Structure 1
Amino acid sequence: MPKLVSLLLWTLGILLSMPVHALPAVALHYGAAAPLSDLKVFDIVVVEPDHGHDPLLHQRSDSQLYAYVSVAEVQPSRSYYQDIPAAWKLARNGDWQSDVLDQTPADWPEFFASRVVAPLWARGYRGFFLDTLDSYRLAAQFDEAAQQAGLVRVIETLHQRFPGIRLILNRGFEVVPRVRDKIEMVAAESLFRGWNANKKRYEEVPAASREWLLGQLQTIRQQQGLPVLVIDYVPPQDRALARATATQIQALGFIPWVSDSQLHTIGVGNIELLPRRVLVLYDGDETVSLNYTNAHRYLHMPLNHMGYIVEYADTKQPLPQGIYRDRYAGVATWFSGFVPAAKGKELSRWLLARASEGMPLALVDDFGFLPDRSWAEQLGLQVGNLGIEGRLQTVRQHPMMGFEIAPPVPGREYEPVRLVGKSAAQATPLLELQDQRGQRVVAGAIMPWGGFMLDPFVLVALPGTEQRRWVIDPFAFLTQALRLPPMPVPDVTTENGRRLLMAHIDGDGFPSRAEMAGNPLASEVLLKEVLQKYRIPHTMSVIEAETAPDGLYPQQSAQMEDIARRMFRLPHVEIASHSYSHPFLWNQEVKHGVFLEETQKDYHLELPGYTFSLEREIVGSVNYIQQRLAPAGKKVQIMLWTGDTAPSGEALAIAHRAGLLNMNGGDTFINRSQSSLTAVRSHGIQKDGYIQVFAPITNENIYTNLWQGPFYGFERAIETFEMTGQPRRIKAVDIYYHTYSASKRAGLEALHKVYRWALAQQLHPVFTSEYIRKVQDFYGYAVARDGQGWRVRGGDALRTLRLPANWGAPALAQSQHVAGYREGTEGTYLHLTGSSAHIQTLEKTAPPPPLRPFLYEANARLKKWQGNPQATQTAFTLQGHVPLQFSLGHSSHCQVRAGQRLLAPIRTTTTPAGANVQMFELTATHAELQIVCPSH
């Protein structure tokens, strides 16, 4: 494709992805670890290329990385610094420790193009932010006209050498008229607020300097017709000032970017990224693995369900710095006691610093240290020596208390808290207690700085069981303590309005004999009675040591491998590995991926002569399956974790490098007899930057008391499916079990019952790999406020947003890349057509919009949704795994066609919001469809 055509198509993509009449959203981030997954919500992202970013990896049709390049200054750290002749150096910039370069030498433009830009062009950069254009003025003597002519030659040379190059100039106002056809934007710094590099402080720009700069910028925009980018600087913790400054800039018609002086945080532009990360602090000494900490078990799921990504910080390690509101919505802690004294001092100081910066805090269960008087008073608290007499009694409780069980009566060991100072007047007590003298204390409160709730009023353990119950509503508490705003929530449970259905099988028990006529292998029974019967997507795995000729069952290997090959040939079965030796513990003492010799026998199936290796377990088992069992052209896609399902970061890294998805763990096990959300886990967990994806629902081993009986226990998974679907749809329906379920008639009948229930529901069948990619997309999804609407960008796997219930229906005519919506119990499920969208909701007072057809629900993926502006014709394509079912809203006055065939609805209903909905069915799993409506 010609480069000019590519440029035009890219520009068209940017324009189509933006709200009508909007200028492009521009961000600058020069940090070494620039959060590109968040920054992709901006159309243009300027980065420091020496940090190693890959522009091709992050290139999208709606967002692209630009490289920062300095034209008239150079720092000694640049690779080309030593090759610059001394005669080309005009002066020294002491504020930034750089040399100022003369623009007049004849060889300078070619040097700049070849040594500075060409290597970046080869890496894939096509856009460049040209900085320091006016630095020649730092020299004691210079010929201004000659310097400007040199800058023009540099820009002309770049266009000659690199057709299609896109350039943003930082200042250089005098040369703009001479190169206006060669640049796409002009930038300037410090219109309202700036950074004094000499005095190392943020300052308001003097009025005279502002007026001069404003005149220059208005001239550029009005006379040259170019967009103007204004970059201002404010302290990174002052988000309100950044927002107010951006609003001032935007009101003048310029593109704003307001960030810190180093451009190391995500600032505020003409859109504002909504921070979706919550940092959770925990004490790593409390458990053997992050998977088992209370912080993870109980805080992670509610935050995930509300759309937030959880990152962890272990107080055994130095606490992280640079935690600002640009990316973090808040900080939460869950300690079950005190951390070591030295760490307690560091922790208390760290929390106080975050509170002083305006970062909301949610402190749960215990502070983690004994608060001293100064610390407590600064947060409006008084702790210890309160003079409490007698037993405490509850005198008032907030509605969020008593969520699953009533607050307990506090014992004598409980340390109450009193609210004091100005914060007391602004606080909302959640549980007020009173002693026999009438003195009031609290167990928790929503405070100006966040909120806290202390043990034993967070969870209650049921005597004689391992069950817990929430005393406090975790959704309400976290929302109010962390000041979480309503937002479109990326939702991994649903696509096109229907809850997802998946099935995956761990290979355990492949050699087991079924207690049935002829004593067949359980794997043979599974193949014939389940996989060949239920033609929905399945993920099947094997344990190499069980099926391989050199494994534990060499005499049965040929038969088992034949069964596995027949399973893997089925088109509705994808292939996974369940490891080589089925490790029982993944995250113990590890050195370079090999477990210590003296503890091997406790960790996996007993294989003579085998020394445990993570590479062998993961990569080796995949190679075995690929070479001996998988049909040609069908790849092993997934690693299903075994045993405790708590892989280390190193294990996750090995799977990632091998190109494998991964899943298992979590053990969501809510049912009628354990009816608490404390038994529902998160989407997954991050370790060392890698994501372990949890199975949505636990397997039959848990329902059958570790396969001790009752063997029909897995039928209770239906209860789990129902309770994770209402009143909150928290999980997909996941039929998850082991091969040995087919070894007993009761187990097999339980499977049939679960499958029959699932197939009777209106669900959306997907492969496990499709679900895993949705969870991965959840972690990389970017959501931003865009005027009165929202801009979202992610991967292409996650296509559903859940809108708050009080937002009502979306304004389809004003939204982009939205095919439709369906009401749910918690809000509205929005169906996106791709990896990005702009969403506008209907104003409560606005007149009803014209009715236009929309997709209400479908059991298949949208491969295309394309309509004309008048909404008289819409073409769309559905691709599913089972015969198609779909419903259309506001289509009763239209014709619906599959190819040339006119379709008749099988049913017509009315939604709670009053929309007329028609349901259609096809025997095909793929169809190209049209909606043709009369013109108005």
Structure 2
Amino acid sequence: MSPVRRLLPVLLLILFPVAQMLPARAAEAVVQRSVLALVDLREEKTIRLSRIHTMAELPLNHLGLSVVYWDVAQGLPDPDRYRDLRGVITWFAGDPFADAQDYVRWIEQAMDRGLKVAVLGQTGVRRSLDGTLTPLAVVNRFFGRFGLRDDDGYSDLTYKSRPAVSDGLIGYERPLAGMPPGYPLLRKTDGRFTSHLVMRRGGDAATDSHLVVTGPAGGLVVEGYARHHDAEMNRRQWLIDPFAFFRAAFATDDLPKPDVTTLSGRRIYFSHIDGDGWRNQTEVAPFSKTKLLSADVVRMAAIEAFPDLPVSVAPIVGDLDPVWKGTPEALASAKRLFALPQVEPSSHTWTHPFQWAFFKDYDPAKEAAFLDRADDYGGPRSPLDRLMGRSKRDTTAEDAGEVADIGRYAIPRAYLRTPFDLDQEIGGALDYFTRLAPVGKRATLVQWPGDTSPFEAAVAAVRKAGARNMNGGDARYDADYPSIITLPPIGLPVGAERQIYSGNSNENTYTDLWTNRFFGFQNLINTVRNSDSPIRLKPFNIYYHMYSGQKAASLNALRRNLQAAREAEIAPVAASAYAAIAEGFYTTRFRAEGERRWRILDRGALNTLRFDHASFTAVDFARSSGVLGQRRFQGSLYVSLDPVVAEPVVALEETERADRDPPATVPYLIEGRWALAGLAADGPGGAFRVAAQGYGDGTLTWQVPVSGRWLVTAERNGTRVWQGEAEAGADGRLPVTVAAPAVEPLLLRLRPAGR
């Protein structure tokens, strides 16, 4: 059997993955990378809207930390239930504990067992839930753990207060300017802690209060000094540098970071389309003359015109199936799209629920009240009506507001022909789109519709159907949203399940919910740039709806984004592949095996690790296995893992130079557009082979131990489909461009000429 045939199932699993649970391992000493977030859901209502999830979890994820949540309304958790717990984080708005002294004892026990604690906002220790004050001696047991002492004072008149100490951790997105918030008087008592912000009143050093500290036990930021909130603009910005604060508080420098933004040394790119507006008649000339569907315009102008950029297309069954509100024309347009090699079939469900909470405890009788509003949902309406789920009779915002039970939507889902059926919405829709696709293609991704807030059983249904899920998050980082706070974390826990967020927001947030400024989506590129510099925080994701093919302005904006992607250095993958990588972030574990050497366990489809502050660091290939390559970027070292190696080992060493790729005695990948697997020697003289899959020409850069001319061939099923040459410079860099399609995997062979 040829190497390609042997590797094909592996590549398909990596790049077009189906859900699977890896077997549990026996208890073992692993590197701690989980942080326990204590939240009070009596006050914050949901994890999705909590301060820790919306503000702190993104930087924690970037530092390699996975966040687990506990609602303190249920009491205090047993830390032993978490096998790799590194620390605890809190961000309270008040005092949520029935017995604050019991909480102080819990924190002390957690720290005594080596857990680090990061406290932002209110501490939760000054009084109990019933208002009973905590004795000051007990309060100071808590503050003493952070090298501080509470002098039982408070500065509420701060017009004379100025920073006596304010280091680089302060003023990250907004300077500490104007009248500072009131603050408690906290003296430092332990020199092992670093004070990042010290406020002084009237120039008197005796009044110094230490408001932001980090040290061996964790870190603390008093209320009002972590982030600024502009109530008028509804805008939040960090006052502290959350990356630096959490890095110090949780001591993450020794932690390998599972990275979901990068593949083969390049930024991951993926694109996905929700099917809303599929049957809208386009207004774009010259397509409007023949009354083309928006879906067909998107296909011709934004998909067929960019064959090097993959896209996952998710229709709504009700929009296509003639038994519902579909037409033969709409059905045919889906088949044409799914037949394109760069298109992955996905699902936007069967009936397009608008508010998922309505269906958590479904009552058909409750939904029956909306039937008179939905009799002509499939007919021609304005885009706003379509977005809001209004029928032609419901033409005003006041009409929509009458239905308070489902928020801003006028009906609970787009199509009410039959009672809601979760199995039909998830597994049924996936099967429907798989049948529409060519043989060999499967729909394995559910793109959440409506408010993108599925309940636990809905996410579980996706997993049980052997698929992945994605959507939600609405990532923006631009002039209108000038903070990383509006970049969401990787995903959201939904009960025992996990929702994966999309990489970027769709065009709705740029067009006022598709009501005006239809050109607005062109501003996506600002978020793309800002989330890649000065540190890479998100993949490059173009996410939109089929109604972008309805108007000339929206279509032009979309094409500008696609052109920007074409010009960027990216590693394009299907959207389901990104969802699989994101899931791997949460399952990945590390086992330390000697100095600066780790074995990687249970990583799923995630194949990139990042080591920060690593300009003079390189992979020690002699002590490593299962490593494809390495690349330095932004002061970090990105390490590419070989997908065919279940438990790779990564060891690091120091190098003398940061201005060139580290030399090695074996070939390794620096960066490339394609996903690679199965790197192996292929004869004498340094020759090697590797399987590849991807979109567009295969631009790859290798570091090889032999300079001079190299011969490169590409094979599929034992037949050579391309051959060429490349030149390795004296520094060992070997740039290669394979001009052959690799949507179906190839086997690449590279060998020095004459050997």
Report if the CA contact (8 A) 2:183-2:223 is conserved: no
1:366-395, Cα deviation, whole Å (9 max, x unpaired): 213525323321131444731648423322
Question: Which of 230, 244, 260 does residue 492 from structure 1 map onto?
Answer: 260
Report if the CA contact (8 A) 2:588-2:604 is conserved: no
The offset of 1:524, in angstroms, is 1.9
Q: Which moved more, 1:430-439 or 1:728-737?
A: 430-439
Report if the CA contact (8 A) 2:618-2:653 is conserved: yes
2:31 is aligned to: 274
Q: Which moved more, 1:711-720 or 1:322-331?
A: 322-331
2:678 is aligned to: 864
The offset of 1:267, in angstroms, is 5.0
1:423-446, Cα deviation, whole Å (9 max, x unpaired): 433322221112246411122211
Change (3 A) 1:796 1:903: farther
Root-mean-square deviation over aligned CA pairs: 3.0
1:719 is aligned to: 526
- 1:357 partner letter: R
1:451-496, Cα deviation, whole Å (9 max, x unpaired): 1112211111235322221110111111111222333222111111
- 1:439 partner letter: T
1:385 aligns with 2:152: yes
The offset of 1:301, in angstroms, is 0.7
1:779 aligns with 2:547: no
2:249 is aligned to: 481
1:403 is aligned to: 172
1:929 aligns with 2:748: yes
Aligned partners of 1:376, 1:65: CA distance in 2, in Å? Answer: 41
The offset of 1:611, in angstroms, is 4.2
1:432 aligns with 2:432: no
- 1:827 partner letter: S
- 1:929 partner letter: L
Aligned partners of 1:723, 1:917: CA distance in 2, in Å? Answer: 31
Report if the CA contact (8 A) 2:478-2:526 is conserved: yes
1:814 aligns with 2:623: yes
Aligned partners of 1:509, 1:864: CA distance in 2, in Å? Answer: 42
- 2:240 partner letter: I
Secondary structure, counterpart of 1:730 in structure 2: coil
Change (3 A) 1:896 1:857: farther
The offset of 1:624, in angstroms, is 4.1
Secondary structure, counterpart of 2:564 in structure 1: helix
Question: Which of 552, 557, 561 does residue 331 from structure 2 map onto?
Answer: 561
Secondary structure, counterpart of 1:534 in structure 2: coil
Change (3 A) 1:649 1:345: farther
1:792-823, Cα deviation, whole Å (9 max, x unpaired): 13345221111232452212233211122122
Secondary structure, counterpart of 2:538 in structure 1: coil
**After the TM superposition, which residues 652-801 of structure 1 pair with which residues of structure 2 at under 5 Å, given as runs?**
652-788=459-595, 789-801=597-609
The offset of 1:845, in angstroms, is 7.6
Aligned partners of 1:65, 1:799: CA distance in 2, in Å? Answer: 20
Question: Which of 82, 91, 98 does residue 334 from structure 1 map onto?
Answer: 91
Change (3 A) 1:313 1:325: closer
Aligned partners of 2:348, 2:517: CA distance in 1, in Å? Answer: 25
2:112 is aligned to: 356
Change (3 A) 1:840 1:594: farther
Q: Which moved more, 1:279-288 or 1:326-335?
A: 279-288
Q: Which moved more, 1:301-310 or 1:867-876?
A: 867-876
Report if the CA contact (8 A) 1:589-1:596 is conserved: no
Report if the CA contact (8 A) 1:584-1:643 is conserved: yes
Secondary structure, counterpart of 1:634 in structure 2: coil
Question: Which of 528, 534, 549 does residue 300 from structure 2 map onto?
Answer: 528
Change (3 A) 1:447 1:827: closer
- 2:687 partner letter: Q
Aligned partners of 2:423, 2:82: CA distance in 1, in Å? Answer: 39
Aligned partners of 2:723, 2:297: CA distance in 1, in Å? Answer: 43
Report if the CA contact (8 A) 1:593-1:615 is conserved: no
Report if the CA contact (8 A) 1:590-1:596 is conserved: no
Aligned partners of 1:692, 1:922: CA distance in 2, in Å? Answer: 37
Aligned partners of 1:872, 1:608: CA distance in 2, in Å? Answer: 64
**After the TM superposition, which residues 118-157 of structure 1 pair with which residues of structure 2 at under 5 Å, given as runs?**
none
Change (3 A) 1:360 1:324: farther
Secondary structure, counterpart of 1:565 in structure 2: helix
Q: What stretches of structure 1 of length at least 5 have no aligned partner? A: 1-55, 67-265
- 2:733 partner letter: N
Aligned partners of 1:764, 1:748: CA distance in 2, in Å? Answer: 24
The offset of 1:869, in angstroms, is 11
Based on CA coordinates, which of the two structures has the bigger radius of gyration? 1
Change (3 A) 1:915 1:668: farther
Aligned partners of 1:563, 1:883: CA distance in 2, in Å? Answer: 28
Change (3 A) 1:511 1:742: same
1:292-331, Cα deviation, whole Å (9 max, x unpaired): 1111011111111111111111112233203489511111
Change (3 A) 1:845 1:576: closer
Secondary structure, counterpart of 1:425 in structure 2: coil
1:374 is aligned to: 137
Aligned partners of 2:637, 2:698: CA distance in 1, in Å? Answer: 23
Q: Which moved more, 1:513-522 or 1:751-760?
A: 513-522
Report if the CA contact (8 A) 1:586-1:647 is conserved: yes
1:302 is aligned to: 59
**After the TM superposition, which residues 232-271 of structure 1 pair with which residues of structure 2 at under 5 Å, given as runs?**
266-268=27-29
1:580 is aligned to: 350
Secondary structure, counterpart of 1:707 in structure 2: coil
1:59-98, Cα deviation, whole Å (9 max, x unpaired): 6xxxx968xxxxxxxxxxxxxxxxxxxxxxxxxxxxxxxx
Normalized against structure 1, the TM-score is what?
Answer: 0.66
**After the TM superposition, which residues 37-56 of structure 1 pair with which residues of structure 2 at under 5 Å, given as runs?**
none
Secondary structure, counterpart of 2:725 in structure 1: coil
Question: Which of 712, 719, 733 does residue 897 from structure 1 map onto?
Answer: 712
Change (3 A) 1:384 1:613: farther
Change (3 A) 1:661 1:426: same
Report if the CA contact (8 A) 1:408-1:457 is conserved: no
Aligned partners of 2:588, 2:365: CA distance in 1, in Å? Answer: 36
Change (3 A) 1:575 1:929: closer
Aligned partners of 1:869, 1:650: CA distance in 2, in Å? Answer: 52
Aligned partners of 1:655, 1:594: CA distance in 2, in Å? Answer: 23
1:916 aligns with 2:733: yes
1:76 is aligned to: none
Change (3 A) 1:732 1:387: closer
Aligned partners of 2:529, 2:271: CA distance in 1, in Å? Answer: 16
Q: Count residues with an aligned counterpart.
A: 661
The offset of 1:868, in angstroms, is 7.3
Report if the CA contact (8 A) 1:329-1:484 is conserved: no
Question: Which of 695, 700, 706 does residue 886 from structure 1 map onto?
Answer: 700
1:170-192, Cα deviation, whole Å (9 max, x unpaired): xxxxxxxxxxxxxxxxxxxxxxx
Normalized against structure 2, the TM-score is what?
Answer: 0.81
Secondary structure, counterpart of 1:736 in structure 2: strand
1:237 is aligned to: none
Aligned partners of 2:609, 2:564: CA distance in 1, in Å? Answer: 26
